[in-house]
Amino acid sequence: MSENTGLRSGLTDYGDVGFSEFLRKAFIKGAGYTDEALDRPVVGIINTSSGFNPCHGNVDQLIDAVSRGVMMSGALPIAFPTISIHESFSQPTSMFLRNLMSMDTEEMIRAQPMDAVVLIGGCDKTVPAQLMGAASAGIPAIQLVTGPMLSGGHRGTVVGACTDCRQFWGKYRADEIDQDEIEEVNSRLVGSVGTCTVMGTASTMACVAEAIGAALPESATAPAVTADRMRIAEQTGARAVELAEEGLTLDKVVTAESITNAFRVVHAIGGSTNAVVHLAAIAGRLGYTLDLEAIDTIGRETPVLVDLKPSGEGYMEDFHRAGGLPAVMREISHLLEADALTVTGRTIGEELENARESYDHQVIRTLDNPVAAVGGIAVLRGNLAPKGAILKSSAASKELSEHTGRAVVFENSKDMAERIDSDALDVAADDIIVLKNIGPVGAPGMPEAGYIPIPRKLARAGVKDMVRISDGRMSGTAFGTIVLHVSPESAVGGPLGAVRTGDRIRLSLEERSIELLISDEELATRLEQAVPHVAEGAERGYRKLYVDEVTQAEEGLDFRFLQGVSGKGTAPLAK
């Protein structure tokens, strides 16, 4: 082992290098290591196991399997903890903590002696946090996702988190099912540990990690509790040792070309809108600026081929059985940047030469029978969103995609919670619901409150969808004609803050536009008169750092001081 690798790298500064190494070895020998073990290259394994994170409930087994792969290849595996974030156990929202996890990931990789690192993550924000942190840390890194949970069953039907969680809750709100049934289904929705089994954010980011080249081929879809998942872990550990020898860092893998491939895949799988902010943040760490128009162009060229909930029917285990992501990428290979390098050391084009066709053309469609002819995410502009907004077109109602309606405005989440279920609320099915102040600064943390519920009195009358607009995000497992990520957000003076109940708003998916139908003068006057928003509880600590430093949606909500030096150009690349 050379001077600056393995246990000898990154020595603690005592002013005496020899003593620093002597002391380090003395302490770790207390755990029973031999000199022979300590002389090997070191592969760090990030342990995100947490009792509060059932999506990571298999991490201990994964660490065992990764360690086996590392040792088979002649290196020393050392696991270490970082922050772990679960969607339902993070207050105010997991997104608020993503940057904190990325800082933890970056600094603990940098602070501790390792020649490569395996990033074990899975639940929504963890994979982007790890890729952001590892990209900034600059040592060879490879992603291993925990994998999706098994689907569950309720009264003879297959169900899974969390699209069905929302569907059953919607039925309960509409009095279509009773208290007994909602309690019964609560025990049936999550079949095992692992990440949500629909094409939500976790599944999308697992596919992004594979498509961008940061994870092994075929690694995105294997369920958490399967032998396939453990074998992938072993292979990931073995490959991490080679990465250490080759010095293949993420900046060589995550390029404008591979970011382009990732966006192609997000469209083709009907992926979560959250991928846009996460990819913006990952790209930003490496100096790339997001090109929203290119994302839209790519969407118009890329069909949706994967038939999973929330846009379609199946679950992640169906996707895995049908051939997983390589079968999708093979089908759209003519659209991909074939020369993009992956962590295997080969290009995506080379990897796809061996990829098999889909085994199940109902789940992974062919180009001549897509789920939708064009991609799942549209980028909107207009006087309501000068810096862009997002609509998950694959989950939107066709009849509402071209719609003009009266605005019914809620000033913030609290206002909405207090009034949306009131029988006195003046709202009709063809109105457009606007929710302000749930953006990056406004909430803070841009919660997934953009999935605004249908007002109870309309839900009871059978209304299933309405146009809804906010500066927040939406869970990847949700669905509806929902305009999200409106930028700039209302809390920093964006035009959304100027909307009043009774205004008329026009949405056109065809024209990619979202317009508040008032004059420019009136809009300017209202914005001048707007009362500045003050985020609650942001006087000190991490919340203050967050509110002071967070960027808007198009920059991925990263902190300004964490972004890389820009200048690598824009991504993705439109053909």
Question: Does the footprint of ligand FES cover residue 219 (CB under 6 A)?
Answer: no
Task: Tally the residues of the chain.
Answer: 575
**Alpha-carbon span 280 to 292, nearest angstrom:** 10
Closer CB to ligand FES, 44 or 147, in the complex: 147
Q: Which stretch binds ligand FES (CB under 6 A): 83-91, 108-116, 426-434, 534-542?
A: 83-91
Question: Does the footprint of ligand FES cover residue 196 (CB under 6 A)?
Answer: yes
**Alpha-carbon span 222 to 217, nearest angstrom:** 11
Q: Which stretch binds ligand FES (CB under 6 A): 193-201, 244-252, 276-284, 292-300?
A: 193-201
Q: Of residues 55, 244, 286, 304, which one binds ligand FES by CB under 6 A?
A: 55
Minimum CB separation of residue 98 from ligand FES in Å reads 13
Minimum CB separation of residue 126 from ligand FES in Å reads 8
Q: How many CA atoms lie within 13 A of 83 on its CB side?
A: 23
Question: Does the footprint of ligand FES cover residue 229 (CB under 6 A)?
Answer: no
Written as six digits, the tokens of 528 are: 């001048």
Question: Does the footprint of ligand FES cover residue 124 (CB under 6 A)?
Answer: yes
Closer CB to ligand FES, 47 or 490, in the complex: 47
**Which residues have C-beta within 8 Å of that of residue 206, sequence separation ≥ 6?**
122, 127, 145, 147, 148, 195, 215, 219, 220, 221
Question: Does the footprint of ligand FES cover residue 202 (CB under 6 A)?
Answer: yes
Q: Which stretch binds ligand FES (CB under 6 A): 40-48, 194-202, 420-428, 554-562?
A: 194-202
**Alpha-carbon span 231 to 219, nearest angstrom:** 10
Minimum CB separation of residue 85 from ligand FES in Å reads 9
Contact between residue 472 and residue 390 where contact means Cβ atoms under 8 Å apart: no
Closer CB to ligand FES, 144 or 294, in the complex: 144
Closer CB to ligand FES, 126 or 136, in the complex: 126
Q: Which stretch binds ligand FES (CB under 6 A): 85-93, 177-185, 360-368, 464-472?
A: 85-93
Closer CB to ligand FES, 97 or 491, in the complex: 97
**Alpha-carbon span 390 to 552, nearest angstrom:** 13
User: Rounded to 10 degrees, what is the CA torsion of 513, 516, 521, 525?
Assistant: -130
DSSP strands (E only) in 324-481: 377-382, 385-392, 402-410, 432-435, 467-470
Q: Which stretch binds ligand FES (CB under 6 A): 61-69, 81-89, 460-468, 539-547?
A: 81-89
Residues 126-165 contacting ligand FES, CB under 6 A: 162
Question: Does the footprint of ligand FES cover residue 87 (CB under 6 A)?
Answer: yes
Q: Of residues 65, 95, 101, 123, which one binds ligand FES by CB under 6 A?
A: 123
Q: Of residues 50, 73, 105, 195, which one binds ligand FES by CB under 6 A?
A: 195
Minimum CB separation of residue 317 from ligand FES in Å reads 15
**Alpha-carbon span 447 to 467, nearest angstrom:** 19
Burial 196-221 (b: 16+ CB within 10 A, else e): bbbbbbbbbbbbbbbbbbbbbbbbbb
Q: Which stretch binds ligand FES (CB under 6 A): 86-94, 108-116, 456-464, 520-528?
A: 86-94
Q: Which amino acid is at 240?
A: A
Which residue from 401, 394, 392 is spatially nearest to 365, judged by alpha carbons? 394
Q: Which stretch binds ligand FES (CB under 6 A): 80-88, 102-110, 414-422, 503-511?
A: 80-88
Written as six digits, the tokens of 312 are: 């379609």
Backbone angles phi, psi at 381, to 5 degrees: -135, 170
Q: How many CA atoms lie within 13 A of 438 on its CB side?
A: 28
Minimum CB separation of residue 147 from ligand FES in Å reads 10
Written as six digits, the tokens of 514 are: 């979202």
Closer CB to ligand FES, 146 or 255, in the complex: 146
Minimum CB separation of residue 167 from ligand FES in Å reads 15
Sites of contact with ligand FES (CB under 6 A): 55, 86-88, 123-124, 162, 195-196, 200, 202
